[in-house]
Structure 1
Amino acid sequence: MSNDFVKLDHVSYKYEDAPDFAVKDVSFTVEKGEWLAIVGHNGSGKSTIAKLLNGLLFPTDGMVKIGHFKLGEKTIWDIRKQVGMVFQNPDNQFVGATVQDDVAFGLENHGVPHELMVERVDRALDEVGMQKYALHEPSRLSGGQKQRVAIAGVLALQPDVIILDEATSMLDPRGRAEVMETIRVMREREAITVISITHDLDEVVLADRVIVMNQGTRHLEGTPKEIFEQAQEMRRIGLGVPFITSLQEKLELAGIPLTDRSLMEGALMEQLWTLHLNK
């Protein structure tokens, strides 16, 4: 039996008055509990896919399915109950006077009873390590903290899928690291399906699988390791590779025989140390 929870089947989308399709005949599935990263340069179609997955757009052709529901006018709210989105700018997501008020906002809109609401807010803030900031004003938080609160607001709704739509692009390196660590821990605890739409290739390393979009089509697909082994092709379509991949390329050009192109710094250091000891 298939474990696919998200499915795009020959999906295309064309914006009104646009000369060409933003997404062209794209098909893929995502298993429950999987972390899929979708990468591509501006205009590649990746953000359009994010909107299609959350029902902010409806496909021009093809089918989008989340869980048991095919996306359509009659199922849009069923799908949105299952899918939570964290957007690019955390400041645009806050509506509450305090952190706990903001996390509770979505629950209030869903008519969740007060006692259950308090329990979910506390748990969500604890999940993202922001419990001690519950009574703080969101505007006084750092960028990374704001995004963690935004994630808590999504978690409190208990979705099956979380979509990160360029959620770390406006953060400094420390903020990005905070948010990615939060997502990693949350996924391990809750077995939530994560779909990250990003151009940050260092973020992609954490995913189980990667889809590379180019000119509206699914250009490459594989594990992060398989994708970044195609460094030349990635650069050809206007994308880079993580620093560790570039470093390994330079080491090999310098005549250092690496046995494995790992994406983990620790594994690379272990290889280099072993080579040093065996000299």
Structure 2
Amino acid sequence: MSEDFVRLEHVFYKYEEEDNFAVEDVTFSVRKGEWLALVGHNGSGKSTLAKLLNGLLFPESGLIKIGHFALSETTIWEIRKQVGMVFQNPDNQFVGATVQDDVAFGLENHGVPHEEMVKRVEDALREVGMTDYALHEPARLSGGQKQRVAIAGVLALQPDVIILDEATSMLDPRGRAEVMATIRNLREREEITVISITHDLDEVLYADRVIVMNEGKRFKEGTPQEIFEAPEEMKRIGLGVPFIVELEEKLSERGIQIDEPILSEGALLELLWRLNSNN
């Protein structure tokens, strides 16, 4: 993961009805195959960044580069071939009568030949564990299943980058876990770059690196462990901390020594088992 595949340099963007910049002088890069989480409260600029990265918006100034292409009106379609987006509400993304029809929709728009289209649909549904639901109506699926179908539709287009724009915010805990496991497994098998835009700090723990946005600016950057080493700083800008980190704080307050931050369910379960065994 040494090659920078996504790059933003001094990007500014302001909505017409707003006085302040939604995104102000933001610079960062994402390596090929990396998982980057962009977090922040509502109005922090993270969702605007998602739209800028996919060319739904154009920056007022600054550079956005995906692969070999700098974003412009002449390169927009090349950019969109490389970037797939999974949005907040999966119902808004469905257009087909069946799951397989829906996954095929984007391929039809791109003029993919029929035989290749069939193979890509089958491969994408298998990747997200939805092969058995190919002929089901999307409306009859659970929230987690719907979002996995939306991911399959993106995967069938074979993008280099997947952007998750609050993709789990409308799901229950089980559906959220299903989607995160799907993305994690895909990323382990394929060299797909993942950018997750979220305010769910538990989701941040899946990422390699985190950028915290505040008032349109890059507030802090680091690994999940580095970001949550100072929980009070996160709370000061209106963000909490993941449940696991909060539990660690409570245990420390009770005098229970923890040698290093707990950032996974496995580590948490191991700690609780040890504490129970010692008692």
Matched residue of 2:153: which SS?
helix
Matches within 5 A, 1:135-214: 135-214=135-214
Deviation per CA, 1:43-83: give whole Å up to 9, x if none: 00000000000000000111000000000000000000000
Aligned match of 2:90: 90
Aligned match of 2:37: 37
Deviation per CA, 1:113-154: give whole Å up to 9, x if none: 000000000000000000000000111111111000000000
* TM-score between both structures, scaled by the size of structure 1: 0.97
Report the residue type matching 2:8 in the other structure.
L
* TM-score between both structures, scaled by the size of structure 2: 0.97
Structure 2 portions without partners, runs of 5+: none
Matched residue of 2:51: which SS?
helix
Q: Supply the distance in 1 between the matched residues of 2:266 and 2:87 (Cα, whole angstroms).
A: 31
Deviation (angstroms), 1:264: 1.4
Aligned match of 2:227: 227
Report the residue type matching 1:103 in the other structure.
V
Q: Supply the distance in 1 between the matched residues of 2:220 and 2:101 (Cα, whole angstroms).
A: 42
Q: Supply the distance in 1 between the matched residues of 2:147 and 2:124 (Cα, whole angstroms).
A: 13
Aligned match of 2:250: 250
Aligned match of 1:69: 69
Aligned match of 2:3: 3
Deviation (angstroms), 1:2: 5.8
Q: Which runs of 4+ in 1 moved over 3 A?
A: 271-279
Q: Supply the distance in 2 between the matched residues of 1:156 and 1:33 (Cα, whole angstroms).
A: 18
Deviation per CA, 1:159-184: give whole Å up to 9, x if none: 00000000011111111111111101
Kindly tell me: are residues 276 and 98 of structure 1, through their superposed partners in 2, closer, same or farther at Cα, counting changes over 3 Å?
closer
Q: 1:266 aligned to 2:266?
A: yes
Matches within 5 A, 1:113-132: 113-132=113-132
**Aligned-residue identity in percent:** 77
Q: Supply the distance in 2 between the matched residues of 1:67 and 1:218 (Cα, whole angstroms).
A: 22
Q: Supply the distance in 2 between the matched residues of 1:22 and 1:237 (Cα, whole angstroms).
A: 16
Matched residue of 1:158: which SS?
coil
- The two structures, once aligned, show a CA RMSD in angstroms of 1.4
Contact 2:2-2:32 at 8 Å conserved across structures: no
Report the residue type matching 2:91 in the other structure.
D
Deviation per CA, 1:227-255: give whole Å up to 9, x if none: 11110000000001011111111111111
Kindly tell me: are residues 177 and 274 of structure 1, through their superposed partners in 2, closer, same or farther at Cα, counting changes over 3 Å?
closer
Report the residue type matching 1:92 in the other structure.
N
Matched residue of 2:175: which SS?
helix
Deviation (angstroms), 1:267: 1.8
Matched residue of 1:262: which SS?
coil
Structure 1 portions without partners, runs of 5+: none
Deviation (angstroms), 1:270: 2.8
Contact 2:6-2:30 at 8 Å conserved across structures: yes
Q: Supply the distance in 1 between the matched residues of 2:178 and 2:203 (Cα, whole angstroms).
A: 12
